[in-house]
């Protein structure tokens, strides 16, 4: 506590997630000769299928609890009440969310190369990794029964994952679609071990910014009755928040350009300035 009307808090959060779902194709394609992929690829279980006289499957997928992710955050909070008729809340979060191929789904995390589910280049930021987030909110009790309640939110850009229009590893089903090789890397170089995949979620979208406001006028009628007239404005600066909703196919002419608005999980945000008027009668 800083004073009788204000308090400052700090906390650290660490979340380590183990045994998360990951779908592994246990019959993924393998080069006949890693040093000469022109000789072709084979699936390890093809011979067993043929020997058993059953159809040869394109992939054999096993749901495994081997996924890993981590979240670390420092939360700073300042709150004051009734100081110069102002109630104020300020929250700042410094956070980092990382994992292996963490794309936001709750099921079917495919590694880009099933034969290397924990490749170093597959470890990176999660789809919702937001390094900085600031929230400022307050209620200011003004003369003549007026109330002013603004809220401002700002956050750093979230990542998105560049992919290829086709799987550049020639792996087919049972692997993450659109596996993209690192710049300058060839398919032969990848299998020879001289280069690797493009780092996961290596691009960032746009920072987030939104300001909402509520203005109210309270009119009293005696001791028991009160009429409140209110105006509410959302995204009052009409800021377009695209988040990480960007075209991520590197061959597209629109690669790296926004294709939609941000849509955080379970949150509905105004895409443009919106306003409403209302009234409430208390008795």
Confidence tier at 97 by pLDDT (50, 70, 90): very high
Residue 89 burial (CB count, 10 A): 15
Q: What is the DSSP letter of 175?
A: S
| Mean pLDDT confidence for 64-88 | 90
**Which residues 6+ apart lie within 8 Å of 91 measured at CB?**
75, 76, 77, 78, 133, 134, 135, 136
**Integer Cα distance of 12 and 48 in angstroms:** 52
With a cut of 80, say whether residue 83 has pLDDT above it.
no
Percentage of the chain exceeding pLDDT 90: 65
What's the pLDDT score for residue 178?
85
Q: For 112-159, write each residue's pLDDT tens digit.
A: 899 998 999 999 999 889 999 999 999 999 888 899 999 999 999 999
Q: For 204-258, write each residue's pLDDT tens digit.
A: 999 999 999 999 999 988 888 989 999 999 999 999 999 999 999 999 999 999 9
Stretch (H or E) spanning 27: none
| Mean pLDDT confidence for 39-59 | 92
With a cut of 60, say whether residue 106 has pLDDT above it.
no
Q: For 171-196, write each residue's pLDDT tens digit.
A: 877 677 788 999 999 999 999 999 99
Cα angle value 264/266/269 (rounded, 5°):
60
Evaluate whether 154 touches 134 at the Cβ level (below 8 Å). Answer: yes
Tell me the pLDDT of the chain averaged across its residues: 90
**Among the ranges given (60-74, 98-112, 225-239), the one the predictor scored with the smallest mean pLDDT:** 98-112
Cα angle value 246/251/256 (rounded, 5°):
25
Cross-strand partners of 210: 153
- pTM score: 0.83
Residue 139 burial (CB count, 10 A): 18
**Integer Cα distance of 197 and 275 in angstroms:** 47
Q: How many CA atoms lie within 13 A of 235 on its CB side?
A: 13
What's the pLDDT score for residue 239?
92
Q: For 243-276, write each residue's pLDDT tens digit.
A: 999 999 999 999 999 998 887 655 666 678 889 9
- What are 201's two structure tokens? 């979620």
Three-class secondary structure of residue 225 per DSSP: strand
| CA distance between the termini of the chain | 37
Q: What is the DSSP string of 104-170?
A: S-SS----SSTT-TT-GGGEEE-TT--SEEEEEEEEEEEGGGEEEEEEEEEEPPPEE--B-SS-TT-
What's the pLDDT score for residue 176?
74
């Amino acid at each position: 506590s800083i004073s009788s009307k204000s308090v400052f808090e700090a906390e650290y959060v660490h979340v380590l997630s183990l045994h998360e779902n990951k779908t592994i194709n246990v019959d993924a394609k393998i080069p006949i000769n890693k040093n000469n992929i022109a000789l072709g690829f084979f699936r390890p279980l093809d011979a067993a299928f043929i020997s058993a006289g059953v159809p040869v499957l394109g992939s054999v997928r096993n749901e495994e609890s081997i996924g890993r992710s981590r979240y670390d955050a420092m939360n700073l909070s300042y709150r004051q009440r009734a100081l110069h008729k102002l109630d104020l809340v300020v929250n700042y979060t410094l956070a980092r969310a990382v994992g292996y191929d963490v794309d936001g789904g709750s099921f079917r995390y495919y590694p880009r190369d099933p034969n290397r589910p924990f490749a170093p280049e597959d470890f990176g930021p999660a789809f919702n990794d937001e390094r900085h987030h600031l929230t400022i909110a307050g209620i200011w009790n003004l003369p003549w029964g007026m109330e002013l309640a603004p809220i401002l939110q700002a956050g750093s850009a979230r990542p998105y994952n560049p992919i290829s229009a086709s799987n550049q590893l020639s792996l087919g089903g049972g692997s993450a679609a659109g596996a993209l090789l690192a710049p300058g890397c060839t398919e032969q170089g990848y299998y020879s071990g001289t280069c690797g995949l493009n780092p996961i979620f290596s691009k960032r979208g746009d920072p987030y910014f939104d300001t909402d406001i509520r203005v109210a006028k309270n009119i009293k009628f005696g001791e028991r009755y009160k009429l409140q007239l209110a105006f509410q404005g959302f995204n009052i600066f009409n800021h377009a928040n695209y988040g990480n909703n960007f075209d991520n196919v590197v061959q597209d002419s629109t690669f790296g350009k926004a294709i939609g608005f941000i849509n955080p999980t379970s949150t509905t945000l105004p895409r443009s300035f919106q306003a409403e008027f209302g009234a409430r009668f208390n008795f």
